[in-house]
Structure 1
Amino acid sequence: MSRVFHALGIYLFCSGFLLSRLVLPDRSLCDLPPTDIGSTYSSGRTREEGCWHPKTFGKAVVILVDALRYDFTVPFQPKPGDEQPHHFHNALPFLYDISVEQPNNAFLRPFIADPPTTTLQRLKGLTTGTLPVLIDAGSNFAGTAIDEDNLIEQLYKAGKRVVQIGDDTWHSLFPGYFEPNLTKPFDSFNVWDLHTVDNGVNTHVFPLLEPGMQSRWDVIIGHYLGVDHAGHRYGPDHPAMADKLKQMDGIFRRMIEKLDDDTLLVVMGDHGMDVKGDHGGESDDEVEAALWMYSKRGAFGNHPDEPATPPLTAKERAVGQIDLVPTLAYLLGLPVPYNNLGRPIAEAFLGPQRDYEKLAEVHRLTAAQIHQYQGRYAQARGLDESATSTTATLWRAAHDTYNSARSTDPRKISDAFAAYQAENLRICRNIWARFDLARMSMGIIVLFATLAILAIYAQGIRADRATITPLLLSFGAVGTVAGGLVGAAAGLLPSLDLTPCIAFGASLGGTTATLVGLWPARRILTLPLPRTFWGGLCCLVTALLCGGFAANSFTIWEDEQLLFILSTFGVLMLCSSLGQEFKEDRMFGAANAVSFLVATRLSSMSRLCREEQMPDCRSSYYASATSSTSAGWQLAIPFAVFAILPSALSLFIKRTKNYQGMGVVWIRYALRVGLALVAVYWIVDAADDNEWPTGLSKDTLRSSRVLVAQIILGLAFAGGYATYLMAGPLVDVQEKESMEPAPAPALPDDLLQEDGGIFTPMPSTAKPRRKLLILGYANTHGTRYLLLPTIWILPLLLLQKPMGQGVLALCLVSIINLLEFLDANNLRHCALGPCVLALLGSFYFFKTGHQAALATIQWESAFIPLRAVRYPWSPLLIILNTFGAQILCAVAVPAIAIWKVPPKQPGLLGRVAGAMATHILFYSAIAVATVVESAWLRRHLMLYRVFMPRMLMAITVLLLVNFIGVVVALVGVRWSIASVNGVFGWPGTGGQGEGEGEKEE
């Protein structure tokens, strides 16, 4: 039930912490301007002449180059410490050159995106003029239709024929608005493909620009993806990026030749990219895109506060992406969308003569539209008037300026209404950062209650947990249903929301009932406090981690903290082993502790630095700090894993003589073949990435790569699980004979011999006796279950980059080192094993090239066995890639309780459940701590950059480990134990050494 309570508590907290913006259903109408538009224009105007303001252009071609960073478009300017140009420098000079040579025909400006810098959220901002909300970041996988006023809907209602070509995300957001016969969507998520979408856009856009086709459309939207995909695949500093930018340069040169005087050309990026080519965060490189507008008519003018040439840094009067919405609306004669918060871009309205009257008028209209929206939004949300007092003052001041300087100083009017818009935007950002403290508090209460239940279940039960678990489940289920019904009744009140009431009632009723269910078993309960050195150390480390996440520097350098903690555990494990009484335990425990330390230290050499760690960190996960591909030498790592890992696994199993049967079939043959195919896959991938001369076409290489990946996954999940289900205990039964004398039978008196008055029985005759020698008896359960982690390691290795494969293999070795240490020191019933496995999972998360940041998600892993996006498989592949280390460690947790445990042990399932509960308890404590700290630091400057991403990671891992623990690990344990007990349905009678037992017959 704790899994259900965790999910409900997380839902309650996130629904209060990650508030979505209230979307107003209102639409701007052509016939209802937000303010008086003056008699000169209003009398006799038609819709064709424009709504609210005379239109400037009849047609528009809007080209969105995904991830077009601003510095891709301007000449290279050396910076201190970066004197050498990169591949992307000076590869796209056309936009800048035209802006300098023809300032009245074109202008180039930094185009600042509001984070999160994911494509779907950016498209929403570029068409609605509203600010994004962070809860929408996860929807970048599959967009849903925009249900608020937007430019595309306004174009459609105005009878404009809109054609969209390229990224198919537009069709998820605006279904039914595009011309069906001319629109050509393309799959947008295959970041491995640099050319298909771009070539498709070219194929369909340029014919539409021919004179005979221009009457069939009014607006063309072309969305190129090659630059973004080149960044994800290679990073910006790569020849492939230079090639894509040069291709874009040629496309724009061709495009302006085909435009007429009545057509506006807009080229823009939706976001930028960081030094590795990723995006999603709020670093300067991620938010600084480029905006370029062009017209053959010469309709533009420079802002008076700017030089005649475009700025060379994005710090000089950048424009916001939401500013494009009112700008395009007025230029094309449309109403400004109702929820817009942007303001018109000055260069688009000043004209060659710097017409401040025109600029002042569009600023006034936009300010009126924003004022109308502000009032409606405040009314809908019940906001205090005090929250808008500043904007109200500025609104009155702008109107006073308009009335007093209407005919004398239009620039002053423009500045006054622009000031109102800027302050209103600031206020709105603060409004949408408001948190629902009631829901957050309910979520925290539920998470704390669940943490208490887990602690008692994991460390407070002194008897077999299998006897009390059904009772707790029944109490929890009844309490959850009853609490949900009470919550539903309370939710029917007008002042309360139904869904959170049901969730809180169900979780509170369930946790309370579970705690009450412990009362009948109070005699076997104890306080869940540490009673040993190792238990106290685990509790201390967990508490220190929980407290450390309240500091942004600790969170930023979490990978280094985990390295120190694991190294400390390794040293203490070595000291403990050296203090063991028996020499074999002493030597074997020490050897595994040293191996654990070495594996941890080697893994620390794999590093992916986050932006905040620079310049004190040097990445080694990729070929360079600016690359998204592996170095050539790293391709040897999969071959090293292929050569070493199966042999290392077999050495551990051979020691207890369990390298038998299906264990040999899987580890020696199937796993080794799978690892060889993994190495082949990444060689083929590198050949495709680096265009090595192979004599094969790119399509053949990609098809071969996908086929190899599918064979590996089939071998792992189909072949591996078939092996696991069919395998018996990994033991070998041998028969041997001994010449021991048979016991003398009791004989009658007349058969006894008398010898000197002493009666002795007749001598017995020695005869051979048959014995069964069971090789592997002592570790039957542990080695049988170990097949499961070795099955999971194969797909997890496939989905990692070569560097990640090496460290994930070391993670598996460290897991077995830990199991052997626990046995040598007789600590399998201690909290040490589950706690260290959780630490290993967290540590290797970072070592496999991830950080608690959206930008480090390796989206390309979704296409390792697929050629296109497939739901739900693509998201599942990314989850396996991102959280592979936590998954592997969670699968290995049951082995702690059953490693080197002979068959027919009472309470085995209960001990396994306790180990899994302790493992989840660690993640639950981290999740509770990060949730509480994010709530407390909700106004901190680094909330959205540091604290919130770590909190989201913590709750995601908690839910994932809960699922893995129930579905994979515990079900796998039941099957493994049933398999062993099906063979050993009797208690062993002979003594057991390291790996054998005997039975006489």
Structure 2
Amino acid sequence: MEPSNGLAAGSLAFKDVTVQYNSAKERVSQDGEIQDINMRKEIQFKASHVLLMGFFLWIFLLHAIGIYFFTKGFLLTRLVLDRKSECAARPTELGNSTPATFADGCWHPKTFDKAVIIIIDALRYDFTVPFSGEPHHFHNALTVLDETARQTPENAFLLPFIADPPTTTLQRLKGLTTGTLPTFIDAGSNFAGTAIEEDNLVAQLRHAGKTLVHLGDDTWHSLFPGYFDADLTHAYDSFNVWDLYTVDNGVTEHLLPLLKPVNASKWDVIFGHYLGVDHAGHRYGPDHATTNAKLREMDNVLREVIAMLDKNTLLVVMGDHGMDVKGDHGGESDDEIEAALWMFSKKGIFGRGHNGFIAPPATAKERPVSQIDLVPTLSLLLGMPIPFNNLGAPIAEAFVGSGEPDWQNLASVNALAAAQISKYQKEYCLARGLDDSVFSLPQAFLKSGFQYWQDGVQSNEGSGLFASAYESFSRYQEETLQICRSLWARFDIPSMLQGIAILSCALAVLGSYARSRSMDAELVPVYLAQMTIYAVISTASFAIVTFGIFGNGIIDAALLGFATGGIFGFTYASVNIPQSFALPFPRSFWGWLAVVLTLSQSIGFASNSYTIWEDEILLCFLSTFASVAFISSMRQEFFVERVLGMFQAGIFLVLNRFASLSRLCREEQMPYCRSTYYASSTSSTSAPWQLLIPIVLATLLPAIIKTYYQGTRSYQGAATLWIGFAARLGLLASAVYWVLDAADDNDWIAKKGVLQTSKVVLARLLLGVALVVGTTTFVWSNPCISIEVTPGLDASADREVTPKPKSVKVFGYANVHGTRYFLLVINWLMALVLLQKPMGAGAIGILTIQILALLEIIDTNNLSQSAIGPVILGLLGSFHFFKTGHQATLSSIQWESAFIALKTIRYPWSPLLVVLNTYGAQILTTVAVPLIALWKQPPKKPRLLGDVAKALATLLLYYATINLATTMWAGWLRRHLMLYRIFSPRFMTGAVVLLVVDLIGISVSIGSLRWNFASIAEVFGWN
């Protein structure tokens, strides 16, 4: 044996050498005993490995159940009423001056026979109004809307169209057709899918026998299945944000022929949903030439449509939401909620009014209207009943008239809407068991409105009274809307508390297992068997109790019983098995530092400013650790360890600051933050210079990884091929992909079809090699070692040859576990680098080097058993989540990553690509967590599997603590003004991260150990 400079010799693996002087019979006997021992140890290892995976799977289920119960109580709900409005059931009689029904309409005389409703997805209001200063690309491109509204106000009007968050297309279409407010969960008797079952404008038109045509975004067909004429309807995939032309070209191709007089009898209402502007925004941002081109295309199309309309057809153009400065949406910033609404008719019946609350045409900023106001407006204009659940008010410009204000007509339509709202709120209170006295204040406005109406009918000079009636009805609608918002913001506190209790117990279980000093780390079979028995008995008992006493449904009772019974079984087994439980308090400075960093971050989520600046807080925490590690390394006994520890701490600190240069600022950070992740703050694409980042990464990163292997002479065997060739080639392929993507974005090459196909094929090959071929190779790979055997002969001076035991050197012995496992990290590294944008690829590369530096710091300071290593890995994952261009906001999700390896949406692959892009940093640190226990450990170190399990449990403990904190703060601050802007998105981010880390930890971090240990055992034997 010659252990020096990372070299060592093993005795068990080379028993034929160490026992070469024994007889053949003795050798056979010893070999048989060793084989029996190895077999027993292998069986024991496999059993422990399966039990560990079962244990962590149980932890995952606890987390999922806890999140489910809290979310069920936290996400706002409303009861969907099955009632439908009918022509024969007019909600009110407006005195004796108007009949109950009309020959040419329902509830109110209809104004139009037909309608063309065009939705330009993400049409922001300022895209449609003139701009006199230094224009952006989105200015002065779509001019026809403002032009007609100003030149012929009797024919058209253009207004800001305010969307209720969340500003996602699905939720917006629900509001645009039902007239009600969006909530996260709409609970009703029909809850079988995404189809809108409550009363809505489309259903009313269909019920009236109208022929409906839909063109464009296929989301309409999931919401209204079977409503549209099958022969005339043409739907297109809505999720392919890379495609700017297919949907728009298809809509225009089929829309214009339908408007010709020869086809007028084939349809009554056309819904056309264009997606090009939205997709251009997602891909390039609003301030881009492509967005300008799409807006000009819409301008030309609308001019053609206007020219083809007749007087009996209403034209409505609107955006379902806006977009932020990067072209994304989903939140509640002004740019995201302020869309545009334009209505046009050749009848010349529209007007502005002149009484202050209806803006005159000369104002610079038109008065905004809510999107739910569209439903009663279109219903009455088309002679339809107002949908039963509607909460909107008719848009005044459509009914006030083109000359002197027609206050009687305006008051009439608002009386109808107000009476329907009153009917709805009474039915809702009855269904919910609520006291309708909560609507007493709005009811006063309703009564005064009808009183003004009656007085106006009886008076010869009724304009002023009708105007007062209109004001009262408007106040009634506004007040009722506010009360409904508060009613639907009622949280299910018991369900939220149940979720928090389960998450807290799961946290306690993880803490007792991860940091207890006497718990059997490998969960011996007798321990888990007792826990399982107790858990099964308790599960049934608690399920019956929750179902019978607390009134939970069968599914909820079963879930609560499972969670409660499992926790009880774990606790009972821990208490009753000797030396299986101890309080998990830290006993060292490093342990307390891990606790302080975790709790400090958790407590801070109670502050909105802390949550907003979380990325900067994490930078401070990681810099603090690097500084403490530098000081600690200076105190090491041996000079080599001092230098190595200080050097790695310095690298960790410098890379931390360097990674902080990659930033994606959230709106609340402005103007104190400048985004660098994209080409600019107004673009969603990378600058050309950023294409150098993947190229530099492919050049330098494999060489840097190689130096860490060479430190223990481990750059042997599979490592030379994996690091020197496969990793370099994979990273280079990723760089080529992003060059091709930039060429496609910027039209550098004319043959776009060939370009798109080439990059998709390249991405698929790289992902296949990294995750499929790489994992398969990892399973069968040998350790990263090289064995050198010197001759066993010694020539003496008199040339007589005498026997001498053979000398065996094993290069890479000192880090045999860590270097082999790190090959799996390289596989995931190649995949995740591809799925990030170029700047994000640089952040993932920096993260990889920081992981290696952290491992050296842990080894130098003898911290492999401390909680600080996994906690710092958790902090690194959270920090680089921000550095890869993400924030705890819906609008920061890089949906375009779903098309990196695909041309169209394919389930489940498209969502998986988005998850890997979004949580790539946390995934990589979770894959790397076993290295905390494996790095620089000898082949036969005892209880190594348990050490790995404790490291993973500690990482999960960190993420579970963050999730519990964000969950509790979101529940406590549920009435906070910034709940849905800051606290709720952070809670949802923490919940998803925890579940993703759980699954990766089970399937990769623990699941891969079987082959890592087996490969090493083939050479050195089992522990």
TM interval, short-chain normalised:
over 0.9
Q: Return the offset for 1:397.
A: 2.7
2:210: which partner in 1?
160
1:69: which partner in 2?
124
1:331 corresponds, among 377, 381, 390, to 381
Q: Return the offset for 1:826.
A: 1.1
2:831 corresponds, among 785, 790, 795, to 795
1:648–1:461 distance in 2 versus 1, CA, 3 Å: same
1:2 corresponds, among 36, 45, 59, to 59
Residues 516-571 of structure 1 show CA distances to partners (whole Å, capped at 9, x for unaligned) of: 11113352432111110010011011111111000000000000000011011011
1:513 equivalenced with 2:569 (yes/no): yes
Residues 121 and 273, structure 2, Cα contact 8 Å, conserved in 1: yes
1:317 corresponds, among 360, 367, 370, to 367
Residues 480 and 508, structure 1, Cα contact 8 Å, conserved in 2: no
1:786-825 map, 5 Å: 786-825=822-861
Q: Greater relative contact order (Cα 8 A, min sep 6): structure 1 or 2? A: 2
For residues 713 and 877 of structure 1, the distance between their equivalents in structure 2, rounded to whole angstroms, comes to 10
For residues 473 and 453 of structure 1, the distance between their equivalents in structure 2, rounded to whole angstroms, comes to 17
Letter in 1 for 2:87: C
For residues 943 and 524 of structure 1, the distance between their equivalents in structure 2, rounded to whole angstroms, comes to 42
1:932: which partner in 2?
968
For residues 187 and 281 of structure 1, the distance between their equivalents in structure 2, rounded to whole angstroms, comes to 23
For residues 494 and 836 of structure 1, the distance between their equivalents in structure 2, rounded to whole angstroms, comes to 42
Letter in 2 for 1:462: S
1:362 equivalenced with 2:398 (yes/no): no
2:617: which partner in 1?
561
1:697 equivalenced with 2:751 (yes/no): yes
Letter in 1 for 2:757: S
2:267: which partner in 1?
217
Letter in 2 for 1:36: E
1:258 equivalenced with 2:308 (yes/no): yes
2:948 corresponds, among 905, 908, 912, to 912
Give unpaired runs (5+ residues) of structure 2: 1-57
1:412 equivalenced with 2:468 (yes/no): yes
1:441: which partner in 2?
497
Q: Secondary structure of 1:222's match?
A: strand
Letter in 2 for 1:703: T
1:119 corresponds, among 148, 160, 169, to 169
1:577-616 map, 5 Å: 577-616=633-672
1:827 equivalenced with 2:863 (yes/no): yes
Q: Secondary structure of 1:221's match?
A: strand
2:701 corresponds, among 645, 648, 666, to 645
Q: Secondary structure of 2:873's match?
A: helix
1:768–1:190 distance in 2 versus 1, CA, 3 Å: same
2:292: which partner in 1?
242
For residues 734 and 60 of structure 1, the distance between their equivalents in structure 2, rounded to whole angstroms, comes to 85
Q: For this pair of structures, how many residues does the alignment match?
A: 952
Q: Return the offset for 1:38.
A: 6.0
Residues 190-231 of structure 1 show CA distances to partners (whole Å, capped at 9, x for unaligned) of: 111111111111111001011111110000111011111111
Residues 121 and 320, structure 2, Cα contact 8 Å, conserved in 1: yes
1:704–1:371 distance in 2 versus 1, CA, 3 Å: same
For residues 643 and 685 of structure 2, the distance between their equivalents in structure 1, rounded to whole angstroms, comes to 42
For residues 499 and 373 of structure 2, the distance between their equivalents in structure 1, rounded to whole angstroms, comes to 38
For residues 17 and 398 of structure 1, the distance between their equivalents in structure 2, rounded to whole angstroms, comes to 37
Residues 763 and 901, structure 2, Cα contact 8 Å, conserved in 1: yes
1:13 equivalenced with 2:70 (yes/no): yes
1:65–1:469 distance in 2 versus 1, CA, 3 Å: farther
For residues 886 and 1000 of structure 2, the distance between their equivalents in structure 1, rounded to whole angstroms, comes to 20
Residues 885-932 of structure 1 show CA distances to partners (whole Å, capped at 9, x for unaligned) of: 000000000111111111122211111110000000001111111111
1:23: which partner in 2?
80
Q: Return the offset for 1:486.
A: 3.6
Q: Return the offset for 1:312.
A: 3.5
Residues 439 and 500, structure 1, Cα contact 8 Å, conserved in 2: no
Q: Return the offset for 1:956.
A: 0.8
1:395 equivalenced with 2:446 (yes/no): yes
For residues 665 and 297 of structure 1, the distance between their equivalents in structure 2, rounded to whole angstroms, comes to 76
1:869 equivalenced with 2:905 (yes/no): yes
Residues 481 and 506, structure 1, Cα contact 8 Å, conserved in 2: no
1:310–1:324 distance in 2 versus 1, CA, 3 Å: farther
Q: Return the offset for 1:411.
A: 1.3
For residues 478 and 235 of structure 1, the distance between their equivalents in structure 2, rounded to whole angstroms, comes to 57
Q: Which stretch of the first structure deviates more once superposed, 562-571 or 719-728?
A: 719-728
1:682 equivalenced with 2:738 (yes/no): yes
1:731 corresponds, among 769, 785, 791, to 785
Letter in 2 for 1:117: T
Letter in 2 for 1:842: S
Q: Return the offset for 1:470.
A: 6.3
1:428: which partner in 2?
484
1:446–1:705 distance in 2 versus 1, CA, 3 Å: same
Q: Secondary structure of 1:21's match?
A: strand
Letter in 1 for 2:976: H
Q: Secondary structure of 2:791's match?
A: strand
Q: Secondary structure of 2:715's match?
A: coil
Residues 468 and 521, structure 1, Cα contact 8 Å, conserved in 2: no
1:151: which partner in 2?
201
1:978 equivalenced with 2:1017 (yes/no): no
Letter in 2 for 1:382: G
2:926: which partner in 1?
890
Q: Secondary structure of 1:267's match?
A: strand
Q: Return the offset for 1:821.
A: 1.2
Q: Secondary structure of 1:804's match?
A: helix
For residues 740 and 301 of structure 1, the distance between their equivalents in structure 2, rounded to whole angstroms, comes to 111
For residues 157 and 1000 of structure 2, the distance between their equivalents in structure 1, rounded to whole angstroms, comes to 55
Residues 105 and 294, structure 1, Cα contact 8 Å, conserved in 2: yes
Letter in 2 for 1:270: D
For residues 150 and 1014 of structure 2, the distance between their equivalents in structure 1, rounded to whole angstroms, comes to 78
Residues 75 and 312, structure 1, Cα contact 8 Å, conserved in 2: no
Query: What RMSD over aligned residues (CA atoms) do the two structures have, in Å?
Result: 2.0
Q: Return the offset for 1:455.
A: 0.6
Q: Secondary structure of 1:63's match?
A: strand
Residues 712-760 of structure 1 show CA distances to partners (whole Å, capped at 9, x for unaligned) of: 1111112211211110111111111366799xxxxxxxxxxxxxxxxxx
Q: Secondary structure of 1:769's match?
A: coil
Letter in 2 for 1:381: R
1:276-315 map, 5 Å: 276-304=326-354, 305=356, 306-309=358-361, 311-313=363-365
For residues 901 and 101 of structure 2, the distance between their equivalents in structure 1, rounded to whole angstroms, comes to 62
Letter in 2 for 1:399: F
Q: Secondary structure of 1:272's match?
A: coil
Residues 519 and 579, structure 2, Cα contact 8 Å, conserved in 1: no
Residues 417-437 of structure 1 show CA distances to partners (whole Å, capped at 9, x for unaligned) of: 111111000001111111111
2:55: which partner in 1?
none
1:455-604 map, 5 Å: 455-468=511-524, 471-472=527-528, 475=531, 478-479=534-535, 482-483=538-539, 486-488=542-544, 490-491=546-547, 496-604=552-660
Residues 452 and 466, structure 2, Cα contact 8 Å, conserved in 1: no
Residues 464 and 907, structure 1, Cα contact 8 Å, conserved in 2: no
1:753: which partner in 2?
none
1:827–1:44 distance in 2 versus 1, CA, 3 Å: closer
Residues 155 and 345, structure 2, Cα contact 8 Å, conserved in 1: yes
1:747: which partner in 2?
none
Q: Return the offset for 1:388.
A: 2.1
Residues 108 and 310, structure 1, Cα contact 8 Å, conserved in 2: no
Residues 791-848 of structure 1 show CA distances to partners (whole Å, capped at 9, x for unaligned) of: 0011111110000000111101100111111111111111111000000000000000
1:476–1:57 distance in 2 versus 1, CA, 3 Å: farther
Residues 52-90 of structure 1 show CA distances to partners (whole Å, capped at 9, x for unaligned) of: 111100000000000000000001155xxxxx3211111
1:529–1:740 distance in 2 versus 1, CA, 3 Å: farther
1:346: which partner in 2?
396
Q: Return the offset for 1:43.
A: 6.5
For residues 370 and 841 of structure 2, the distance between their equivalents in structure 1, rounded to whole angstroms, comes to 42
Q: Which stretch of the first structure deviates more once superposed, 29-38 or 630-639?
A: 29-38
2:92: which partner in 1?
35
2:245 corresponds, among 184, 188, 195, to 195
